[in-house]
Structure 1
């Protein structure tokens, strides 16, 4: 396993093409700004040129470069679309990725549990250390909050109010995580919740946390669901559905929803439509994931559902992710023996590039409230 200390600062000059690309974002190699890339092994240049963002990320995991302000580095690179320009030089690979997205259904039922095994089953100790006490692994709502725990409680309550939850209602939670929403809604709004997840570790802990409440947690893909529900919620799961499956996903949700019900969808959104997925994120964090664009979502929803409300609070995800990083970093002393230095660098890279993704506004956070066209009455938006 490589470590930063095993590398000496590189003396080789970076290729001019990389210097020019970095300069477009206001970034320098071995510069004096905190967001500049400090090269410790000159092989990093070759890895970036030949593998793009995958090479950049793996080189960081291998300790080949450092940066004092990773979040600011990624914010600048993403604002300037550097990664897109870099991968554009490897034209054949980009074309191959686009064709693969069109031909292959990465999120088909047979692959549904891969992201659970790869990411969400990493270890409950990691997530318990990083997340707030409600164990919410999605964007908090910081309109009035001044800390992560309050931001997550405010998010949960916002969702409950948007859904107009009433005591005794039956709620479906698609992608229930560690049961944060189910526990909150059952305790504070008197509803029963049926949650489904593709992660065994999530299921185990969610059942423990919701013990004694009218909550069931099952290991199940959304395509396997049956029944009828007053309300449906899906928080941070839609990113794993994939564009090829959007029609099936929405048809399933609407089939399960009562005619007078409401469906709240909480998802990361992309500022433009693209067939590309980030190869580093796909390999190390979220296999088979694909963030939707507004165009892809509205196309799938057209003639299926009424969009009663569309709320964007993307900047709140920047604050959420950086709070996760502080929690994770503070707890690392108790986790390091089990997970090791390469995992630490992978997780640090993941959280900081996520912060830059939202800070650059390439990433959005959307909450949509959906209903069937024949739902009676008027819906009043909640903030």
Structure 2
């Protein structure tokens, strides 16, 4: 009995000397300076204080500086995000970020082009090295695929089939990227396509590579759209719309849909309606981003559009991100002098932390198929 008491007191004493971050990591079965692929190799002890004080931002920025390393970052984040972090979170700080997202329209027209300039305009050569040959920068569909190229082609064809594309239809792609969907739809389904983007380099790429196809691309904010289309797709763009503009997006889509038209909305989504944007991702990767919840999307479409189908294949994003990371590592020497070591660590952290988040089911990937069921010929209410 006395021996057991001494062991209990010793364990309690050790816990008392543990840093808060060490306790949280231990709960996730992550050891500091352990020898497993997901264990944290700590280079500066002060990084733990920064992580405890600044949470996501401290974790990401201390990694970017080289204060700590993990051989398998995706496994590290998978384990970390599988535990309940709420009891270790400072709710007032999350509350302030959440309040700001409701009070301030961080995705206003004035700010609409910021994400294009800071993220999507990094360089077409850079994205060509990381992505598939069509430069498809969204989740692949791996159900019957064993490589990135086939997974992205399967995803594009899945969208076209869900939309029921037929020759002669007009397709609008809101947030068309480098033209992967519009080029595929034009080539394989005989449709006329219009794409809109806030990235100048994406716009230039489409004009340069797809001039032989019935594709028109516009550098513009989606809120300025007025034309009508038989079908609308938006793939990986709704994450930039913001909760204050979800309803506006659906109103624009309905305004631009022909009666009985269809909208396919492909978007990353979060599990909790009231969770704020991640501050590190917001600062370094996707400025002004705001993942929607399923409830927010449903609210935005309420009485405007009918949900015909909802498809979740978020697990496929884990595999997609790992494929992008493999390509990034393979070609990094071609970009190292241009972007530098800090960018390398930032980008590696981005790709692998997101892979871990999808693996942990912390975030989802949805395809919503929404219909406009107004009979043809009925006057449109704008």
Q: Normalization by structure 1: what TM-score?
A: 0.92
Give a deviation string over 1:138-195, Cα, whole Å, max 9, x none. 0000010110000000100010000000101111000000001111100111111000
TM-superposed deviation, 1:130: 0.3
Q: Give me the whole-angstrom Cα distance separating, in 2, the residues matched to 1:260 and 1:273.
A: 30
The equivalent residue for 2:345 is: 345
Which structure is larger by alpha-carbon Rg, 1 or 2? 2
Residues 238-277 of structure 1: pairs in structure 2 closer than 5 A:
238-277=238-277
Q: Give me the whole-angstrom Cα distance separating, in 2, the residues matched to 1:336 and 1:14.
A: 41
Correspondent of 1:41 among 44, 54, 57: 44
Give a deviation string over 1:54-107, Cα, whole Å, max 9, x none. 01101111011010110000011111143x444x23x44223212211211111
Residues 177-216 of structure 1: pairs in structure 2 closer than 5 A:
177-216=177-216
The equivalent residue for 2:69 is: 66
Q: Give me the whole-angstrom Cα distance separating, in 2, the residues matched to 1:375 and 1:352.
A: 47
Q: Give me the whole-angstrom Cα distance separating, in 1, the residues matched to 2:226 and 2:304.
A: 19
| Number of aligned positions between the proteins | 361
Q: Give me the whole-angstrom Cα distance separating, in 1, the residues matched to 2:135 and 2:286.
A: 19
Matched, 1:296 2:280: no
Residues 146-185 of structure 1: pairs in structure 2 closer than 5 A:
146-185=146-185
The equivalent residue for 2:119 is: 119
TM-superposed deviation, 1:45: 1.1
Q: Is the 8 A contact 1:183 1:209 kept in 2?
A: no
User: Is the partner of 2:218 in helix, strand or coil?
Assistant: strand
Q: Which moved more, 1:357-366 or 1:297-306?
A: 297-306
The equivalent residue for 2:31 is: 28
Q: Give me the whole-angstrom Cα distance separating, in 2, the residues matched to 1:108 and 1:14.
A: 48
Q: Give me the whole-angstrom Cα distance separating, in 2, the residues matched to 1:284 and 1:215.
A: 32
TM-superposed deviation, 1:303: 1.4
**Which stretches in structure 1 are left out of the alignment for 5+ residues?**
1-12, 377-383
TM-superposed deviation, 1:20: 1.3
Q: Give me the whole-angstrom Cα distance separating, in 1, the residues matched to 2:373 and 2:213.
A: 33
Q: Give me the whole-angstrom Cα distance separating, in 1, the residues matched to 2:214 and 2:22.
A: 58
Correspondent of 1:76 among 79, 83, 89: 79
Q: Give me the whole-angstrom Cα distance separating, in 2, the residues matched to 1:14 and 1:62.
A: 26
Q: Normalization by structure 2: what TM-score?
A: 0.92
TM-superposed deviation, 1:242: 0.7
Q: Give me the whole-angstrom Cα distance separating, in 2, the residues matched to 1:246 and 1:98.
A: 16
Q: Is the 8 A contact 1:137 1:177 kept in 2?
A: yes
TM-superposed deviation, 1:15: 4.6
Q: Give me the whole-angstrom Cα distance separating, in 2, the residues matched to 1:103 and 1:185.
A: 39
Q: Give me the whole-angstrom Cα distance separating, in 2, the residues matched to 1:109 and 1:328.
A: 32
Q: Is the 8 A contact 1:182 1:210 kept in 2?
A: no
The equivalent residue for 2:364 is: 364
Give a deviation string over 1:192-225, Cα, whole Å, max 9, x none. 1000000111111122121111001110100011
Q: Give me the whole-angstrom Cα distance separating, in 1, the residues matched to 2:87 and 2:153.
A: 40
Q: Give me the whole-angstrom Cα distance separating, in 2, the residues matched to 1:15 and 1:219.
A: 53
The equivalent residue for 2:325 is: 325
Q: 1:239 to 1:375 in 2, by over 3 A?
A: farther
Q: 1:214 to 1:281 in 2, by over 3 A?
A: same
Q: Is the 8 A contact 2:261 2:373 kept in 1?
A: no
Q: Give me the whole-angstrom Cα distance separating, in 1, the residues matched to 2:98 and 2:220.
A: 30
The equivalent residue for 1:6 is: none
Q: Give me the whole-angstrom Cα distance separating, in 2, the residues matched to 1:162 and 1:357.
A: 27
User: Is the partner of 1:34 in helix, strand or coil?
Assistant: coil
Q: Give me the whole-angstrom Cα distance separating, in 2, the residues matched to 1:330 and 1:153.
A: 22
